[in-house]
Structure 1
Amino acid sequence: MDWDDLRVFLAVARAESLSGAGRALKCDAATVGRRIARLEEAFGAKLFVKSPQGYALTEAGSRLLPHAEQAEQAMAGAAEELGGSAGRLTGQLRIGAPDGCANYLLPQVCAAICDANPGLEIHIVALPRVFNLSKREADMAIAVSRPTAGRLTVQKLTDYQLHLAAHEDYLGQVGPITTRSDLKAHRMIGYIPDMIFDKELDYFAETGGEAVGLASNSVSVQMQMVRAGAGVGIVHDFAIPFCPGVRRVLLDQVSLSRTFWLIRHADDRRSERLTRLADALGQGLRAEVTRLEALAASY
């Protein structure tokens, strides 16, 4: 058995299919199947059971998984140590994040990290759902709720603010919004109710707002609706500087605070490489949220 065999095993365990593992490994599914068969023969045990849902780990496969992940971390650490990077981060790292953070914060923060670490490649995966770190959909994920279950390590990144907002052209047409009761006369913009994947995103339940008239599962789409003058929505303060003409309303009556959390697999806590990236992300996000919220407050 060698590391390459374990790499194939991990790919199948995470993709739960030979074809998915093949795409990740850049080889065909038949080759992946042969490699798994060879590994099972070497161990004298079945590692996967095939079902209509895909390939699931057997008891033996589940016992092998943490050892394979430790080997993966050791190989990544060795590559970092021997790569002559002089303390810099190198290689490929994938960060999962909700689309608001991914659109308005991570591009500039990750660009600065890459500038300071030539040879580092960062993939930003923006999805409106919770990431599965056990399947290695990402090396780490940013979330708006602190998880309470799973083998995870959790680190607070930064708090951020949200307010009701509308475009100045819209406000010029309909007049000022001075009380919550005024909102009844306006179309509200927000999340599709049955697609809210985290209770922290249910803003109108907390504020007692009106029913949503225009909705999207994407916070970026919601912001573009506000920018287009389609109504009033709750938006991230840090997104306002990217949307000329959007102005906050009812500042003294509706104000929300949320937190970004950095989630990592528990087995990664020994990875100096990921810890250094986590520290850089935390510093960068805190500084960027502070900068953008100050800009939003100046409009």
Structure 2
Amino acid sequence: MNWDDLRVFLSVGRLESLSAAARALRIDPATVGRRIARLEEETGTALFAKSPQGYALTEAGQRLMAHAAKGEAAFLAGAAEVAGQGGPGLSGQVRIGAPDGVANFLLPQVCASILDENPELELQIVALPRLFNLSRREADMVVTVSAPTAGRLLVQKISDYHLHLAATEGYLAQHPPIRALEDLGGHRMVGYIPDMIFDKELDYLEETGVSRVQLGSNSVSVQFHWVAGGAGLGILHDFSLPHHPGLRRVLPETIRLKRSFYLVRHEDDARLDRLNRLAALLSERLRAEITRQEGLS
């Protein structure tokens, strides 16, 4: 069985598309199709179910995927060792997936500090308000707001963090005073679009008793800019508050939420020393940055 064919198979299996795999591998889609056809002929079975929606792995394809992914991890580990990536400095390209709150307010400065010490490293931040699929290699490691309980994953807790209801001084001066939870009814609320909350840990407003969100977005960044612009009240990360000095906590003794961040990787990556070292460094720097910014807020 040809390793190049397996590499193409892995890409199609993860991306569920010949054209997407071709773009990722930088080869012609027809070549991808021929490689898959050759692999299916060699194995004597269909590895994909083809439909207008794309290429879905068959049961046989799923079994081969598990073995091919292990082979890929072993190959990458060997390549890293031969290239000296187990040495003092980190190198190579690593993609980090994260909710956009982390991606906007924490990861930029953390990644920059890591690159200052490891100039041969290439870090990519994918900021998406949804769950990532590590088996399809959408990212090498992911920051999440809850610990996954299923799948072949490595999960480590990074840190707790806190959130408060907040508004600008200007908004608070121009609207009725807020002395208790029941006073929130007369104010415009900023929050998540209810049916687009991808993790129950993000359903912040449920804890305040607020049922109506007048300005809603699936993006933490959009919510932050609405609140920072004086458009209303919203639950914001404490680590985001220093980014706009005019923001003030509202009912801080009543509304104080605590959540946690986790770093998640695919189990097969445990043998990759550079990813182990980067994961440890990333967790340490994120923890320190959360503590620093929460102290400033």
TM over 0.5: yes
Paired AA for residue 54 in structure 1 = G
1:74: how far off?
Answer: 2.0
Q: Distance in 1 between matches of 2:119 and 2:83?
A: 12
Name the counterpart of 1:82. Answer: 82
Name the counterpart of 1:11. Answer: 11
1:118 and 2:140 matched: no
Q: Distance in 1 between matches of 2:3 and 2:276?
A: 23
**Number of aligned residue pairs:** 296
1:288 and 2:270 matched: no
Q: Distance in 1 between matches of 2:8 and 2:211?
A: 51
Q: Distance in 1 between matches of 2:225 and 2:13?
A: 39
Aligned ranges 1:97-136 → 2 under 5 Å: 97-136=98-137
1:68 and 2:68 matched: yes
1:73: how far off?
Answer: 1.4
Deviations 1:259-299 (A, max 9, x none): 01111222222322221121111101100000000000xxx
Q: Distance in 2 between matches of 1:287 and 1:251?
A: 23
SS in 1 for 2:39: helix
Name the counterpart of 2:279. Answer: 278
For the 8 Å contact 2:74–2:271, the answer to whether it is kept is no
1:260 and 2:261 matched: yes
For the 8 Å contact 1:188–1:210, the answer to whether it is kept is no
Aligned ranges 1:164-203 → 2 under 5 Å: 164-174=165-175, 176-203=177-204
Name the counterpart of 2:214. Answer: 213
CA gap 1:70/1:87 in 2 versus in 1, 3 angstroms: farther
1:127: how far off?
Answer: 0.7
Deviations 1:238-273 (A, max 9, x none): 011112311112111110000011112222223222
For the 8 Å contact 1:80–1:90, the answer to whether it is kept is no
Name the counterpart of 2:228. Answer: 227
SS in 2 for 1:21: helix
Q: Distance in 1 between matches of 2:267 and 2:138?
A: 15
Paired AA for residue 37 in structure 2 = A
Q: Distance in 1 between matches of 2:40 and 2:211?
A: 58
SS in 2 for 1:96: strand
Q: Distance in 2 between matches of 1:106 and 1:73?
A: 26
Paired AA for residue 193 in structure 2 = I
Structure 1 unmatched runs, 5+: none
Q: Distance in 2 between matches of 1:196 and 1:60?
A: 34
Deviations 1:140-184 (A, max 9, x none): 111111122222221111110000100111122226433222212
CA gap 1:87/1:60 in 2 versus in 1, 3 angstroms: farther
Paired AA for residue 177 in structure 1 = I
SS in 2 for 1:263: strand
SS in 2 for 1:212: coil
Of all paired residues, the percent bearing the same amino acid is: 64
Paired AA for residue 31 in structure 1 = T
Q: Distance in 2 between matches of 1:15 and 1:210?
A: 38
Paired AA for residue 224 in structure 2 = M
Deviates further, 140-149 or 95-104: 140-149
Q: Distance in 2 between matches of 1:219 and 1:60?
A: 41
SS in 1 for 2:78: helix
1:42: how far off?
Answer: 3.2
Structure 2 unmatched runs, 5+: none
Q: Distance in 2 between matches of 1:173 and 1:63?
A: 62
Paired AA for residue 194 in structure 2 = P
Name the counterpart of 1:25. Answer: 25
For the 8 Å contact 1:94–1:124, the answer to whether it is kept is yes
1:123: how far off?
Answer: 1.1
Deviations 1:185-225 (A, max 9, x none): 21111111111111111111122135211111111100100
Q: Distance in 2 between matches of 1:65 and 1:214?
A: 43
Q: Distance in 1 between matches of 2:277 and 2:2?
A: 28
1:81: how far off?
Answer: 1.6
For the 8 Å contact 1:143–1:261, the answer to whether it is kept is yes
- Using the size of structure 2 for normalisation, the TM-score is 0.94
For the 8 Å contact 2:90–2:120, the answer to whether it is kept is yes
1:15: how far off?
Answer: 0.7
SS in 2 for 1:238: helix
Q: Distance in 1 between matches of 2:58 and 2:254?
A: 55
1:47: how far off?
Answer: 2.1
- Using the size of structure 1 for normalisation, the TM-score is 0.94
